């Protein structure tokens, strides 16, 4: 085609109708002439280029100048599938989630690939204390993990009311990590002791439901054992271990120790403290404390358990606490009631630590 000087070159309709078919929203290619070169069209500007040169704003809908930041997917874009197994063991109170593989993930990087990893949260009450995470698989849309992530201290009450949120993200070292997709599994759908296999399509990010009223933040779990020894006329409190504690130090760990307090106690002689475990969020103690008291009097008492982070040169940080007694609710009340009704029997139970600071600990550890 011959173009005379001063004349405007006509551009074939196929050049205007060409589109980018890469994954994501359908958008016109910015400078299509680079893909369909025509002799004699050198120096011819597109409509958008001319508008920019004149200082005019590009109208919406052109696909240019539109920010894709925060964009997850549309109805025509697949996010991929995730394959995993879940097993709940009621005897050990563990929830085992084995992340197997993902297929056909949405490309997130400029090279058309992604650096995916998987993270788990328990809802409601999602926080850093109950987050578990896999390794990152680099430059792939079909990652294979075969990695087991285990929650300790999951009780029957947790299985009835909690949901496991499984999220696939793309790791970016220079910027923030990006969301790819998620899926959620209500734990009440699982049968204790039976492994269940899942192969689910990832979905767009769902907003977290705000807790009703003022909700307590979960700070981890603690395993306690109560034994009323009739021969010694006293209560034996065993601090066994903690799991998934909140990190209080900048290194991502804590230096936790546990305090027990049988109240009311006018003489303040019932306070006991475990040893400090350094740089861990899953400490094991196996320490016993004995309270000389008649079993009938336990009905008027409550056992206060608090976990603290030890700091040198400044006040210790409160991690979480729980109170057992007839004035408590749920499993905390049931555990204490079982101790009142049973002698010479070791009663172990996991309890959830919350950020509620007991009144007796308001003035420090």
> Could you tell me if 181 and 285 lie in one domain?
no
> Could you tell me if 190 and 236 lie in one domain?
no
Residue 174 has pLDDT above 70, yes or no: yes
CATH of the domain at 147: 2.60.40.150
Instruction: Round to whole Å and give the CA distance between 306 and 222.
Output: 10
Asked whether 243 and 92 are in contact (CB, 8 A), the reply is no
> Could you tell me if 269 and 163 lie in one domain?
no
> Could you tell me if 84 and 180 lie in one domain?
yes
Residue 318 has pLDDT above 50, yes or no: yes
What pTM value is reported for the model? 0.70
Instruction: Round to whole Å and give the CA distance between 96 and 58.
Output: 53
> Could you tell me if 307 and 246 lie in one domain?
yes
- How many domains does one find in the chain? 2
**pLDDT tens figures, 96-137:** 999 999 999 999 999 999 999 999 999 887 677 788 999 999
In this prediction, residue 359 carries a pLDDT of: 66
Instruction: Round to whole Å and give the CA distance between 28 and 20.
Output: 6
Is residue 256 a part of any domain in this protein? yes
Domain span holding position 99: 80-202
Which residue has tokens 């209500």?
186
User: Given 154, 172, 202, which residue is the final one in a domain?
Assistant: 202
> Could you tell me if 194 and 310 lie in one domain?
no
In this prediction, residue 24 carries a pLDDT of: 52
Residue 55 has pLDDT above 50, yes or no: no
Instruction: Round to whole Å and give the CA distance between 8 and 174.
Output: 45
Asked whether 328 and 354 are in contact (CB, 8 A), the reply is no
Structure tokens at 178: 């990006």
Mean pLDDT of 142-171: 94
In this prediction, residue 101 carries a pLDDT of: 97
> Could you tell me if 251 and 332 lie in one domain?
yes
Asked whether 237 and 291 are in contact (CB, 8 A), the reply is yes
> Could you tell me if 314 and 230 lie in one domain?
yes
Residue 335 has pLDDT above 50, yes or no: yes
- Residues, the chain, total? 365
Is residue 85 a part of any domain in this protein? yes
Instruction: Round to whole Å and give the CA distance between 191 and 345.
Output: 28
Least confident of 22-36, 109-123, 234-248, 298-312: 22-36
**What is the overall mean pLDDT for the chain?**
81
Is residue 247 a part of any domain in this protein? yes
Least confident of 124-128, 152-156, 231-235: 124-128
> Could you tell me if 190 and 227 lie in one domain?
no
Give the chain's end-to-end CA distance (angstroms, integer): 87
Sign of CA dihedral 162, 184, 178, 280: positive
> Could you tell me if 148 and 232 lie in one domain?
no
Identify the helix (H) or strand (E) that includes residue 197.
Answer: strand 196-201
Is residue 34 a part of any domain in this protein? no
Residue 249 — pLDDT band, cuts 50, 70, 90?
confident
Mean pLDDT of 251-263: 92
**pLDDT tens figures, 261-290:** 999 887 777 889 999 999 999 999 999 999
Closest CA to 203 of 178, 170, 179, 177: 179
Is residue 36 a part of any domain in this protein? no
Instruction: Round to whole Å and give the CA distance between 172 and 42.
Output: 39
**β partners of residue 365:** none
> Could you tell me if 105 and 161 lie in one domain?
yes
Region label for 268, one of left (φ > 0), alpha (ψ between -120 and 50) or beta (otherwise): left
Least confident of 74-83, 260-269, 327-336: 74-83
> Could you tell me if 243 and 304 lie in one domain?
yes
In the chain, pLDDT over 70 holds for what percent of residues?
75
């Amino acid at each position: 085609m011959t173009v005379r000087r001063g004349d405007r070159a006509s551009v074939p309709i196929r050049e205007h109708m060409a589109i980018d078919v890469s994954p994501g929203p359908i958008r016109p290619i910015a400078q299509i002439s680079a893909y369909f070169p025509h002799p004699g069209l050198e120096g011819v500007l597109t409509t958008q280029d001319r508008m920019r040169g004149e200082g005019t704003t590009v109208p919406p809908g052109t696909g240019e100048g539109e920010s894709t930041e925060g964009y997850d997917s549309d109805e025509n874009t697949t996010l991929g599938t995730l394959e995993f197994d879940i097993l709940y063991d009621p005897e050990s109170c563990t929830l085992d989630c084995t992340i197997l593989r993902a297929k056909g993930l949405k490309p997130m990087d400029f090279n058309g690939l992604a650096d995916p990893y998987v993270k788990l949260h328990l809802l409601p009450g999602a926080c850093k204390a109950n987050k578990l995470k896999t390794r990152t698989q680099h430059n792939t849309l079909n990652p294979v993990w075969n990695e087991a992530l285990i929650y300790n201290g999951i009780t029957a009450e947790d299985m009835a009311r909690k949901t496991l949120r499984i999220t696939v993200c793309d790791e970016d070292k220079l910027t923030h990590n990006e969301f790819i997709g998620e899926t959620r599994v209500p734990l009440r759908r699982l049968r204790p002791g039976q492994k269940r296999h899942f192969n689910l399509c990832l979905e767009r990010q769902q907003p977290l439901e705000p807790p009703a009223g003022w909700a307590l933040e979960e700070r981890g779990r603690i395993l306690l054992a109560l034994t009323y020894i009739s021969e010694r006329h006293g209560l034996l409190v065993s601090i066994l271990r903690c799991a998934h504690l909140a990190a209080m130090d900048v290194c991502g760990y804590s230096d936790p120790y546990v305090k027990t307090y049988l109240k009311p106690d006018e003489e303040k002689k019932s306070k006991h403290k475990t040893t400090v475990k350094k740089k861990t969020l899953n400490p094991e103690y196996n320490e016993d404390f004995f309270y000389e008291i008649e079993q009938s009097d336990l009905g008027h008492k409550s056992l206060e358990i608090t976990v603290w982070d030890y700091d040198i040169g400044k006040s210790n940080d409160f991690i979480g606490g729980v109170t057992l007694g007839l004035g408590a609710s749920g499993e905390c009340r049931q555990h204490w009631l079982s101790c009142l009704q049973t002698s010479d029997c070791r009663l172990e139970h996991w309890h959830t630590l919350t950020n509620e600071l007991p009144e007796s600990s308001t003035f420090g550890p």
